[in-house]
Amino acid sequence: MLSISILVATIVVAVILLLPRIANATLWRATTTPLASIIGSGFLILGPILSEHYGGYAPLVMAALCLCAYLFGGAIRYNIAAIKAASGEDRRPGLEVHLETAASWTLSFAYVISVAYYLNLFGEFAVSLTPFDQKFYAECVTSAVFVVILGVGLTKGFKALERMEQISVGIKLAIIAGLLVGLGVYFYDHVQAGELVHATPTVDGWWGAITLGFGLIVTVQGFETSRYLKEEYDARTRIRSMHLAQWLSTGIYMAYIVFMAYVFEPSEIEMTETAIIDMMAVVAPILPGLLVAAALSAQFSAAVADTSGSGGLVAELTRNRIKPQPAYALLCGIGLLLTWTVDLFEIISYASRAFAAYYAVQSLIAAATAWHADKRGHKLLAAGFLLLAILGAVIVIFGRPVE
């Protein structure tokens, strides 16, 4: 019966998202890109990691991650507004322009690692329900997809695949709705039976808890994509879309973690890349298949988007002296190297630190802009942005992988 309810919820949400009034709404279309990126970055792995390591305090850690992301998002939103006020990036003060260039190079590098993360997760989920559920076969699948993406990028380009992003967003959000219905019912059953769990954290001390959290920043990453949609949307729409994407993703993440953290003992969680599948099989038999479908769709489209974004940034930053194609080849080469030499949890940590570096530079830009702004209260705002930049640097230095 629960499987039927999950399927109905999934179909209903999918139909709602396909309604022309919603699908064609400008704000919603602008929101889907950052929302898909945020949810795609962490939904499949965050639940098991936080529940296993932080126990009953997992929701607090989730809230802290979302708050941290929202504050970094505030710096980027401030920069979007500042660019609009200056009537373009080239009309801003020299320091801010140079920092923006540094931020773009940092983001391009972060994309390289994030693509490795997405496709390694793709490989793990692709083999998870098959007789070939072993790391070697997952790495073979990941490598094959890297070759496919490189081939498409070097020949036809990614235009033909861009429509997949919109489709995958709808699929992913609909399946997440079904998952939350299933988890919500499972949680309610435990409440009724008086069987809620408040597990003791297994992470090693308060500093271990903090540095592990630093290594998970990539799981709430993705909101910055609103910053780079200026060809399609004006500044006000991009700022509103980032706000909306972060609030929606926070609501989804918090419900997900609350429902999960208090119904599973840490001893029941086998800390693997696809632990969510085994956990959800206990909730309802339909969920593992739905999650694999969501994972394959979401991770492939996210990898395509970030590969395209990285190549585009390199071409833009070098004024087309370096075309996107060599950047695609370098990205895939580094991705293949990471796939065969580093495990997924280490890649997650590297990606978190790379994006933290980008957020630190964006926060520095916001601090410099606010400091020079002739407006009341902006000196205090500049100090706040400077503290964010320091936080980003601390994450880069001390973020660590799941063990």
Q: State the distance between the two ends of the chain, measured CA to CA, in whole angstroms.
A: 37
- Tokens 């109905």 sit on residue: 8
pLDDT score recorded for residue 157:
67
What does the domain layout of the chain look like in residue ranges? Answer: 2-131+161-303+337-398
261 close to 255: Cβ distance less than 8 angstroms: no
Calpha distance 303→8 (Å, rounded)? 29
pLDDT score recorded for residue 72:
96
Residues of the chain with pLDDT under 50: none
| The token pair that represents 40 in the structure block | 């795609």
Q: Which residues contact 54 (CB under 8 A, 6 or more apart)?
A: 60, 61, 201, 203, 209, 261
Residue 304 to residues 119, 168, 198, 295: CA-CA distances in angstroms?
10, 12, 40, 14
Q: Which residues contact 343 (CB under 8 A, 6 or more apart)?
A: none
Calpha distance 217→46 (Å, rounded)? 11
| The token pair that represents 251 in the structure block | 């609501």
pLDDT score recorded for residue 86:
67
Q: Is pTM, for the whole model, over 0.95?
A: no
Q: How buried is 58 (Cβ within 10 angstroms: 0-12 exposed, 13-18 middle, 19+ buried)?
A: buried
Residue 225 to residues 63, 275, 332: CA-CA distances in angstroms?
21, 28, 21
pLDDT score recorded for residue 296:
85
pLDDT score recorded for residue 353:
93
| The token pair that represents 313 in the structure block | 């940034």
Q: So what CATH class is 2-131+161-303+337-398? A: mainly alpha
